[in-house]
């Protein structure tokens, strides 16, 4: 049975306060799922499952309808969230690369004004090894620490407990155990100080597994797949006319995964596990909210829920993520803070990961170092006009699984409230979709002469954004820097050897 949280029914004055006073600064609880596309939450129009706890968060706060993962893979998103900087300013231009620990960060900004800081779950910003110990000086301002760089073994999930260098293991399904740990942290916190807590789950990222009690709720045969599940023009073009060569040792395994993305029955089976994971997360989120209410601090806490990127799950017959399609880039972003945000607010403001730090700290009236993102808090509150017309999209490298599986070349693009546009490094247009007329992105307008003037305008805007992001659109320069920092990056070396004139 789903553990619905109940808040909004009682004011803070009606809740018996523990024998401590509420701090004047708001607490901040930031919850991140991994690979959860916005389309699955019922508050975003999902039809296969109900997510009542996250829906209640949207009902009691703000739902952002244009939250976009600028670079839709794990580490670049997390680098943007933690620092407010574009990937080429933070150095996180690909997965499994270390973030400079001297950079300003979300946690450091909170810590400087008296907050306790805590991180629980998946980090994926250290890049030294997915199970390696991460020392305090590389935690970007987080003090309390129960984390691991990265694992997707959710029922045998290791982590490091604060400064112990011995691996511990979460009991059972790691997202549930991590949530219980977050609840315990809240209950046992220093009640004289505000806190900034980040809870970072691994699911619903593949292998799409969840406890049986949730998996049993989903019947794969009954699932409604997205309408673009049969559209394959773009992926076929990439595979039939490849823009780069995949190293020979990967071809066999990757070709099998390409076939999987075209197998409707296999997609439904994986989709069922994906949705079961989301049901579990929704339940755990409800438990977390109940703890905040029980502690009497819910209304003095900024609660945020989001995800690092989405998942194609067969849409456009792509495998994974990292594309500019909505299944890959459209993420949920929900906020609750009744002291500043009206309930049932829906905002169509364009939101990039670089904006999350300044926006949340703006809501809390906290200062921070200069970042690339902008503070959208007054726009969300309807106190300031929304003037931003586009945000950046990018894929800077080839050496991640989904780029190699799909034959996806590097690209840059922009998202407006109406259009998605992407071009290749040689400036040739690749994709253009009118998302208002074509919400499933099945009609690529590149090549349609009626849109040639629009493409020119979008190119000008894209050039402007790339300049702000410090991106010269030169893969070779990015690869040179990565190799200099990490000479043993074997997959990159393999790609360069296979494509000597390209990279």
**Active site positions, annotated:** 74, 124
CA angle 77, 81, 82 (to 5 degrees): 120
Give CA separation, 304 vs 332, 336, 361, in Å: 10, 7, 12
Q: Is 70 helix (H, G, I), strand (E, B) or coil?
A: coil
Helix, strand and coil content of the chain, in percent to the nearest 5, comes to 40, 15, 45
Residue 22: how many CB atoms within 10 A of its CB?
18
Contact present, 88 and 478 (Cβ < 8 Å): yes
CA atoms of 172 and 188, how far apart (whole Å) = 23
What letter would DSSP give residue 339? T
Positive or negative torsion for Cα 121, 124, 126, 130: positive
What letter would DSSP give residue 218? -
Contact present, 457 and 421 (Cβ < 8 Å): no
Contact present, 495 and 475 (Cβ < 8 Å): no
CA atoms of 49 and 41, how far apart (whole Å) = 8
CA atoms of 363 and 447, how far apart (whole Å) = 44
Tell me the CA end-to-end span of the chain in Å, nearest whole number.
Answer: 53
Contact present, 317 and 307 (Cβ < 8 Å): no
Task: Give a three-class secondary structure readout of 5-31.
Answer: CCCCCCCHHHCCCCCCCCCCCCEEEEE
Instruction: Identify the CA nearest to 1 among candidates 216, 189, 171.
Output: 216
Residue labelled with tokens 């952002």: 64
Give the CA dihedral 284, 290, 291, 292, nearest 10 degrees. 110
E-state strands within 2-140: 27-34, 62-67, 116-122
Residues belonging to the chain = 503
């Amino acid at each position: 049975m789903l553990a619905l949280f109940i808040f909004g029914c009682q004011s803070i004055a009606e809740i018996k306060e523990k024998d401590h006073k509420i701090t004047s600064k708001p607490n901040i609880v930031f919850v991140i799922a991994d690979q959860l596309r916005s389309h699955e939450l019922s508050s975003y129009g999902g039809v296969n499952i109900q997510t009542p706890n996250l829906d209640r968060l949207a009902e009691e706060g703000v739902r952002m309808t244009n939250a976009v993962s600028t670079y839709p893979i794990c580490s670049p998103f997390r680098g943007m969230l933690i620092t407010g900087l574009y990937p080429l300013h933070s150095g996180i231009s690909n997965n499994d690369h270390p973030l400079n620990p001297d950079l300003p960060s979300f946690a450091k900004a909170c810590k400087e004004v008296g907050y306790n800081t805590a991180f629980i779950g998946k980090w994926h910003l250290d890049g030294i090894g997915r199970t390696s110990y991460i020392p305090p000086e590389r935690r970007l301002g987080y003090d309390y620490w129960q984390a691991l760089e990265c694992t997707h073994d959710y029922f045998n999930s290791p982590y490091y407990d604060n400064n112990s260098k011995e691996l511990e293991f979460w009991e059972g399904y790691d997202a549930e155990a991590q949530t219980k740990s977050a609840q315990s942290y809240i209950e046992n916190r220093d009640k004289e100080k505000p806190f900034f807590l980040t809870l970072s789950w691994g699911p619903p990222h593949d292998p799409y597994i969840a406890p049986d009690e949730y998996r049993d709720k989903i019947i794969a045969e009954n699932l409604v797949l997205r309408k673009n599940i049969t559209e394959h023009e773009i992926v076929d073009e990439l595979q039939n006319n490849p823009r780069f060569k995949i190293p020979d040792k990967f071809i066999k395994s990757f070709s099998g995964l390409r076939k999987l993305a075209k197998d409707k029955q296999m997609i439904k089976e994986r989709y069922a596990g994906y949705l079961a994971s989301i049901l579990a997360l929704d339940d755990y989120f409800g438990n977390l909210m109940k703890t905040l209410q029980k502690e009497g601090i819910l209304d003095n806490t900024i609660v945020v829920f989001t995800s690092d990127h989405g998942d194609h799950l067969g849409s456009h017959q792509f495998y994974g993520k990292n594309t500019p399609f909505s299944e890959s880039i459209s993420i949920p972003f929900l906020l609750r803070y009744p002291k500043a945000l009206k309930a049932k607010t829906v905002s169509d403001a364009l939101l990039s990961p670089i904006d999350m730090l300044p926006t949340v700290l703006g809501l809390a009236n906290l200062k921070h170092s200069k970042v690339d993102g902008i503070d959208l808090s007054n726009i969300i509150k309807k106190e300031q006009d929304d003037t931003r017309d586009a945000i950046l999209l990018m894929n800077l490298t080839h050496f991640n699984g989904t780029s190699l599986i799909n034959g996806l070349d590097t690209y840059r693009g922009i998202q407006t409230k109406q259009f998605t546009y992407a071009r290749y490094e040689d400036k040739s247009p690749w994709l253009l979709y009118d998302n208002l007329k074509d919400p499933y992105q099945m009609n690529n307008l590149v090549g349609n002469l009626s849109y040639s003037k629009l493409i020119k305008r979008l190119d000008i805007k894209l050039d402007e954004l790339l300049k702000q992001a410090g991106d010269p659109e030169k893969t070779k320069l990015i690869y040179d820097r990565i190799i200099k920092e990490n000479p043993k990056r074997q997959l990159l070396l393999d790609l360069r050897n296979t494509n000597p004139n390209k990279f």
